Structure 1
Amino acid sequence: MPDDREQLIRNLFAAYLANDKQRVSDALADDFRFTSPFDADLDKARYFERCWRDTGWIARHEIERIVVAGDEAFVTYHCLARDGRSFRNTEFFTFAADRVRRIEVYFGATFQDGRFVPQPQ
């Protein structure tokens, strides 16, 4: 099962990068919830309304690690934007069978041209 969940996460990142909203939706449970520093416990419909946007600004994701333990996983990735910006985030996934039930995002540092970019407080 851990290999299946790791592959599910990799497929989800690939679908997001391909701007394939349907494939992303299919990977999420009907009772999916999403939380980030800007979003509190969004349901699936609200997640797509608030968080989905064209992913053409992303050059690539570099998945640094995926750690699966039972029905949970942590993913740390480096996202590189086409304009030279980049950032690292960690996400905590919870699964329900073969779908993602919950994602909690923890934002990391932002960089531009290899230098740290302070974020407004």
Structure 2
Amino acid sequence: MTENRERLIRNLFAAYLANDRQQVADVLADDFRFTSPFDDDLDKAAYFERCWKHSGWIARHDIERIFVRGDEAFVTYLCLAADGRSFRNTEFFTFAGGKVRRIDVYFGAARQDGRFLPQQR
């Protein structure tokens, strides 16, 4: 089960990078919810309307770690943008019925050239 959850997460990141909205939609449960510092408890339709953007600005995701326990997982990754910017996030996944039921995103600091950028106050 753990390997299946990890594979699903890796496939989801690859689908996002490939801008394959249908593949992403197929792994999200009908009652999917999404929360981030900018988005509060969006349903599946609102997630795609508000958050789905062409992923051309992303050069790659470097998944640093995935911890799976039962129907929950944490993923930490470094996202590298095409313009050289980068940031590190952690996402908490909840699964139900073989699909992703919820993702809670915790934003990390922005980085450039391997260093943290000062935060704007």
Q: Structure 2: which 5+ runs fail to align?
A: none
Partner of 2:86: 86
Map 1:27-46 to 2 at 5 A. Answer: 27-46=27-46
Unaligned residue ranges in structure 1 (runs of 5+): none
Secondary structure of 2:86's aligned partner: strand
Paired positions, count: 121
- Distance, in Å, in 2 between the alignment partners of 1:110 and 1:72 is 26
TM-score using structure 1 length: 0.97
Question: Aligned pair 1:98/2:87, yes or no?
Answer: no
Partner of 2:51: 51
In 1, the alpha carbon distance for the partners of 2:77 and 2:98 equals 22
The residue aligned with 2:107 is: 107
Q: Give the 3-state SS of the residue equivalent to 2:66 in structure 1.
A: strand
Displacement, 1:97?
Answer: 1.7
Shift of 1:118: 2.5
What is the one-letter code of the residue matched to 2:48? F
- Correspondence 1:75 to 2:46: no
Deviations 1:38-91 (A, max 9, x none): 100000000001100000011100000000000000000000001000000000
Specify the SS of the correspondent of 1:4: helix
TM-score (norm 2): 0.97
For 1:93 and 1:40, how far apart are their aligned partners in 2?
Answer: 15
Structure 1 runs of 4+ with >3 Å offset: none
Aligned to 2:23: 23
